[in-house]
Structure 1
Amino acid sequence: MCGRFTNSLTGEELGAYFDVSELDDYANAPAWNIRPTDPVPVIFESPRHTDERTASAEAAAAAAFDAHATERDDPDAVVRRLMAGRWSLVPSWSKELKTKFPTFNARSETAAEKASFKNSVRSKRAILPASGYYEWKTVGKTKTPYYIHDTDEPLSFAGLYSWWRAPSSDEWILTATILTREAVGGLRDIHDRTPVTLPRHFVDTWLDPTIVGDQGLVDAAVEAATPVAEALDFHIVGPVTGDSPDLVNPL
């Protein structure tokens, strides 16, 4: 699983690294102890313009970007966006923002069939960028925190997103989850689950909303992510409390 992670990059740095076209005035500060339901950076692709006949959350949110478009823009052009979202996916049909079961992670083995995630697997896939994440190794009653990261570049967590609107409200909320998989390599000594950490060459495929996602696509993402997960570095850290860059320092 992944229940805490870090992001030390600014919106501009994330935008440059992931070739984002629209930052949506993204202004989340770097954070070293991101928890479920906290605001997180979410990268996804959607059409620049939206059809007025499309009564969807995607249409309502994308309209905010149209002020920067010109008459020469292709209305069907897909734009890569960076927005702040809520870390815990809420399907559009949910009547409440708080779900009965945790939805900050989605198991890659079953996401394509689960009611909460299957629509997002089809066309609302995202990247949740991270500098690293924490995991706890449990031996008896002792839990030891580890910080897991790539020493050279940010992590690209394969994610899913959904737009949610409260009944009788005009406000749409972007929500997202991180896909997880069985741990591989040295990570298996810490925990049996780990995020799906995509390599750069698979990011474009994962984000492409014109590709109809299914379990086959999810499985391909897991396979592509295996070498990345096997190469991750990790070290023991102190108690993960507060929010400071010192949290990731090795003991």
Structure 2
Amino acid sequence: MTPEQEQHIAELRQRQLSPKQIARNLGLRPAEVKAVIQAQAKATTQDRIARGELPPLEQCLINEHAAQQLLDPSPEASIEDGVGGLAQVFVVRREGMRYLVASYLVDYWCLGVKDAMGPQRLNQTQYTAMVEKAYDNFHQSSRVISLAQAQAVVLGAVDYAARLGLAPHPGFEQARSHLGVPEQPLPALSFGRDGKPYYISGPYDDPQHVIACLTQSVGEGNFDYLVAAEPPMSDW
């Protein structure tokens, strides 16, 4: 695909021609044209985000237990949730008929953002399937929250982890701009467990590094941790 062909595709697309019509016009395969259109749309979206021009907000979601722990805590709420202080946050924006979805897996007990992805351009079916799968994995329902609450959970957890010497997942930098810039002071949330960091190791963590950071930042005895045992070596 030459730059001239890509430019022609962009011009014809602006005239509301379908991929099949463009393909016939330029003597290309529809699949080739569709791939270029998708790449151009993604580049346009990234340029807009880089300039701070975000599409309209559709909705924000979080798993129900994390909402109870962070956004409306009460003495009656159980700390144990079966997922070790994790919050799955989605920030969804709308661009035409597509959803722009960024996801943030937040460890609000210690690590901050453990994983981040997006924004991805999804249709209605793809978006619904992604959300259902995410919260089915938590065995929890989701709750619709405000953008300010989503910002408070994600950015607050990142700041909390930074004070412990822990950096967010590398994918967070790309997904961060999708949150937007807070327009007002964000709600002050309580991170950690029982007033101090509680680290639960995951399969992709470096437990020694995390524990060393916690020891240096808050001191031995001022945090709790649970490190999974190494699996037994195979004889094969």
Task: Give the TM-score band, short-chain normalised.
Answer: under 0.3
Which has the larger helix fraction? 2
Q: TM-score with structure 1 length normalisation?
A: 0.23
Which has the larger strand fraction? 1
- Rg (Cα) greater in structure: 2
